[in-house]
């Protein structure tokens, strides 16, 4: 499981790093002093588990946990016991009080690992309707936006930025390349059709040999993507009702 640590105390961060290094189930991907730094990382990286302090400057851990995408697991790490009930209201995996007991830490990690395995098995069998209710955090206009997959029409790449075209003519511009955002989108709903465009298959209104049409947008299909895209059109039920 990919994990990160968010804590404003240097000693606490070092202690968590030492414990995580001894847990074979975990791969530490980042250490952050506050929720803002972590949110920037989460916007561009896949993380399964957060070790999250509660009392921090700015956004506290409980508020930050409520903004996370569905399926992201949280283990709270705090010196205070007063927030235990609130932590379970945001579906925390566990609640560890500082100084963190080694045995309790590994208990919490084992619990998270079991939940991760169950979640992975469920994800393989999810239907498109359930998948569409999920989303991702996008940083744009100096804010963090929780964007549902079902609201994305298509993604357009512009060098080191992408424009996420949403329903009702809305757009979000974020610092991320096409390859990175493609890796974060579910294959059951999205298809890359060129170096610059990723489409939401459910929103395609028509297509021909050269273009995919989503509402008033004509999106060109790249030469190197064309054969695979044609196969997808033949086999994917999301395309079955679309007429060229």
Over the stretch 53-77, which tens digit does the pLDDT of each residue have? 998 888 888 889 888 877 789 999 9
Over the stretch 176-229, which tens digit does the pLDDT of each residue have? 899 989 988 988 889 999 999 999 998 998 888 789 999 999 999 999 998 888
pTM: 0.53
Per CATH, the number for 136-239 is 2.40.50.1020
Token pair in block for residue 70: 């569905």
Asked if residues 166 and 147 have their Cβ atoms less than 8 Å apart, the reply is yes
Q: Is 224 exposed, middle or buried (0-12, 13-18, 19+ CB in 10 A)?
A: exposed
Closest residue by Cα to residue 218 from 193, 240, 243 = 193
Residue ranges of the chain assigned to CATH 2.40.50.1020: 136-239
Residue ranges of the chain assigned to CATH 3.40.50.2300: 2-124
Q: How far is CA 178 from CA 134, 183, 198, in A?
A: 20, 9, 8
Rounded to an integer, what distance in angstroms lies between the CA atom of residue 76 and that of residue 61? 8
Asked if residues 30 and 6 have their Cβ atoms less than 8 Å apart, the reply is no
CATH for 2-124 (2.60.40.650, 3.40.1030.10, 3.40.640.10, 3.40.50.2300): 3.40.50.2300
Rounded to an integer, what distance in angstroms lies between the CA atom of residue 199 and that of residue 175? 19
């Amino acid at each position: 499981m990919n994990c990160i640590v968010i804590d404003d105390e240097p000693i606490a961060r070092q202690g968590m790093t030492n414990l995580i290094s001894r847990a074979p189930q975990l791969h530490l991907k980042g250490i952050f002093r506050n929720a803002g730094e972590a949110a920037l990382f989460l916007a561009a990286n896949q993380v399964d588990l957060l070790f999250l302090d509660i009392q921090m400057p700015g956004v506290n851990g409980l508020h930050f946990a409520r903004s996370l995408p569905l399926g992201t697991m949280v283990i709270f790490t705090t010196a205070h016991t007063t927030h235990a009930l609130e932590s379970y209201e945001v579906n925390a995996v566990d609640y560890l009080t500082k100084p963190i007991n080694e045995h309790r830490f590994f208990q919490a990690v084992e619990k998270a690992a079991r939940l991760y395995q169950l979640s992975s098995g469920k994800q393989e069998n999810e239907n498109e309707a359930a998948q569409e209710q999920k989303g991702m955090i996008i940083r744009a206009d100096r804010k963090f936006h929780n964007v549902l997959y079902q609201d994305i029409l298509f993604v357009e790449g512009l060098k080191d930025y992408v424009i996420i075209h949403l329903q009702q003519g809305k757009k979000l511009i974020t610092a991320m390349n096409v390859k990175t955002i493609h890796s974060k989108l579910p294959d059951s709903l999205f298809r890359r059709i060129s170096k610059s465009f990723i489409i939401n298959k459910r929103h395609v209104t028509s297509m021909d040999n050269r273009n995919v049409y989503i509402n008033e947008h004509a999106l060109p299909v790249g030469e190197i993507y064309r054969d695979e895209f044609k196969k997808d059109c033949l086999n994917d039920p999301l395309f079955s009702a679309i007429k060229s």
